[in-house]
Structure 1
């Protein structure tokens, strides 16, 4: 099964405050009072006034993201991070291969990353997305790692997260469905 993610993750109130007036912002509720903002081409245009640019080369440590983080987009992330830490997360997997990348902004500047990994043979806490989420303040819990703890596994692509947000679902909603199913 394929997995694709291109999103900003931060405290849900922080993201609500900064996206309330945006037409193309859809927030997906996660656990621990975090939210996910799927980064779509329409959102990039709304935030920056320009079409997004995408890398044509294979992802690497030198080019960790498929979405080119343009100076105007970085300015938005810098600005929003003055209200609290936020991360840009990107992942793509299919057929057993893929990558994940992440970067964290805090106090108006890039504070960590970008981290990139296309092997994922290090301990889970060192994987880029988990490392970024830990820096955001995600607490350990019952799930295997910060990625699963927040519920980032619940949708497999941007369209799924957009539907998740438009339906105002939470990660807990899916847990409740599983519990109901198991009890039947």
Structure 2
């Protein structure tokens, strides 16, 4: 089973305010008043005025993201982060192998990361996306880690999150379906 994600995660109100006039922004509701903004080529073009650039080589600790975070894009993230913390997260897995990376902006600047992991031999809280979500203020709960607690496991791809957001579903959607069937 594969998983692929390229997204911005932040307080839902912050993302709603910053994206309200964008044509290519689709917000997906997460738990704990967070939202996820799938990062698509169309969104990057709308935010920066130029098409996105992607790394040719596989991500690694020195170049953790597939999407090249241009100065124009990081400028947008820094501007948004003046209103509250936000994270850019990427993950890609297939057949149990893969990687994830994350970075956090607060107060208008990159303050954490980017961090990258492809081995996942350390504790779950130290995995890049989990650690970034804690930096944003995610609280522990009934789920195994912040990734699941906020609901990032609900969809398997950036496209899935686009559909999720367009349908106005919550991160609890699948749990509610299971409860209804029981």
- Shorter-chain-normalised TM-score: which range? over 0.9
Asked if residue 39 in structure 1 is aligned to residue 44 in structure 2, the reply is no
Q: Which residue of 1 aligns with 2:69?
A: 69
Q: Distance in 2 between matches of 1:96 and 1:143?
A: 20
Shift of 1:58: 1.2
Q: Which residue of 2 aligns with 1:2?
A: 2
Q: Distance in 2 between matches of 1:73 and 1:66?
A: 14
Shift of 1:173: 2.1
Q: Secondary structure at the match of 2:142?
A: coil
Q: Which residue of 2 aligns with 1:145?
A: 145
Shift of 1:108: 0.4
Q: Secondary structure at the match of 1:54?
A: coil
| CA distances 1:127-149 after superposition (whole Å, capped 9, x unpaired) | 00000000000000000000000
Shift of 1:178: 1.6
Q: Secondary structure at the match of 1:130?
A: helix
Q: Which residue of 2 aligns with 1:104?
A: 104
Q: Which residue of 1 aligns with 2:165?
A: 165
Give the paired residue count.
Answer: 182
Aligned residue runs from structure 1 range 43-54, under 5 A: 43-54=43-54
TM-score scaled by length of structure 2? 0.99
The runs of 5 or more residues in structure 1 that have no matched partner are none
Q: Secondary structure at the match of 1:82?
A: coil
Shift of 1:40: 0.1
Q: Distance in 1 between matches of 2:69 and 2:57?
A: 15
Q: Distance in 1 between matches of 2:164 and 2:173?
A: 10
Q: Distance in 2 between matches of 1:73 and 1:171?
A: 27
